[in-house]
């Protein structure tokens, strides 16, 4: 599973999507990063209320300085509804288009959502990792599945997220006395590395810089340029 033009079709029914996730989970690889990353990307999607137009974007930053080195955005149409657990089928296609526009290939990619912290262990970070064949992990703002105990209130503390007897991720405090974010491995990375990278992307906000910058990027893409 190293090179492919299409891993699977996207025009599927919700039931078929679940079946694909069950099949794809067999290919997930959780392991320490093979190389020290120098760049990290953040991805996000933006919509206008009641509209199907999708504004997707990817922002690439240098890990050591957190400076933005590239941005790529696309405007498309969503062809799949939002269904908890099937987020990739709604946002994935647009993100893959944006990915193709990048000149820089990020060493690791952070997603706005989960990786293993998913009912079938195939959250958007894991699913996209299989498509991109690149280290990925998720940084969600709320829980989809799993339980966790409140981590200490100081930045850097975390507690494991459990689901069906497995550790699927962690609730991580990225800022003192602020709600934690939920980190989970996607593909080609492990939890310690994902937690370390998230803390290294600190810009003083709850959300790590890659995700925060991607969010700002797609929102201005939607409000300004984009399309009309």
Partner DNA sequence: GCGACAG
Partner DNA sequence: ATCTTGTCGC
* Minimum distance of DNA from residue 31's CB (angstroms): 21
Rounded Cα distance, 88 and 61, in Å? 23
Instruction: Kindly indicate which of the ranges 26-34, 94-102, 140-148, 191-199 contains the residues binding DNA, using the contact rule CB under 7 A.
Output: 140-148
Report whether 117 contacts 143 (CB < 8 A): yes
Among 126, 136, 143, which Cα is nearest to 21's?
A: 126
The response to whether 44 counts as a known ligand-binding position is yes
x/- contact string, 152-191, with DNA (CB under 7 A)? Answer: -------------------------x--------------
Q: What is the largest CA-CA distance in the chain?
A: 49
When the beta carbons of 112 and 209 are compared against DNA, the nearer one is 112
Size of the site for DNA (CB under 7 A): 28
* Minimum distance of DNA from residue 65's CB (angstroms): 26
Rounded Cα distance, 76 and 8, in Å? 20
Separation of CA 169 from chain center: 13
Can residue 118 be called a binding residue for DNA (CB under 7 A)? Answer: yes
The response to whether 190 counts as a known ligand-binding position is no
Angle (deg, nearest 10), helices 14-24 and 124-132: 70
Can you tell me which of 18, 44, 54, 173 binds DNA, judged by CB under 7 A?
44
Element of type H or E holding 19? helix 14-24
* Minimum distance of DNA from residue 143's CB (angstroms): 6
Could you list the beta-strand ranges (E) of the chain.
39-46, 53-62, 68-77, 108-111, 136-140, 158-163, 166-172, 181-187
Instruction: Kindly indicate which of the ranges 56-64, 134-142, 157-165, 195-203 contains the residues binding DNA, using the contact rule CB under 7 A.
Output: 134-142
Can you tell me which of 24, 60, 110, 114 binds DNA, judged by CB under 7 A?
114
Where on the chain is the footprint of DNA (CB under 7 A)?
A: 44-49, 82, 84-88, 112-114, 118, 123-125, 138, 140-144, 177, 219, 222
Known binding site for Mg(2+): residues? 44, 112
């Amino acid at each position: 599973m190293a090179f492919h033009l299409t891993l699977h079709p996207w025009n599927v029914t919700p039931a078929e999507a679940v079946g694909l996730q069950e099949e794809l989970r067999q290919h997930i690889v959780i392991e320490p990063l093979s190389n020290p990353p120098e760049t990290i990307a953040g991805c996000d999607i933006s919509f206008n209320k009641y509209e199907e137009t999708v504004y997707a974007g990817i922002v690439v930053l240098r890990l050591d300085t957190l400076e933005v080195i590239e941005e790529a955005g696309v405007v498309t149409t969503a062809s799949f509804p939002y269904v908890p657990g099937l987020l990739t089928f709604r946002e994935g296609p647009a993100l893959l288009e944006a990915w193709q526009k990048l000149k820089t290939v990020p060493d690791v990619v952070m997603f706005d959502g989960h990786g293993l912290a998913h009912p079938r262990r195939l959250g958007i970070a894991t699913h996209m990792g299989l498509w991109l064949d690149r280290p990925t992990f998720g940084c969600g703002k709320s829980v989809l599945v799993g339980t966790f105990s409140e981590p200490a209130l100081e930045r850097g503390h975390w507690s494991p997220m459990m689901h069906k007897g497995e550790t699927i991720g962690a609730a991580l405090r990225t800022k003192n006395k602020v709600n934690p974010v939920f980190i989970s491995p996607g593909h080609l990375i492990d939890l310690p590395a994902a937690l370390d990278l998230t803390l290294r992307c600190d810009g003083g906000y709850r959300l790590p810089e890659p995700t925060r910058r991607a969010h700002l990027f797609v929102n201005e893409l939607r409000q300004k340029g984009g399309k009309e």
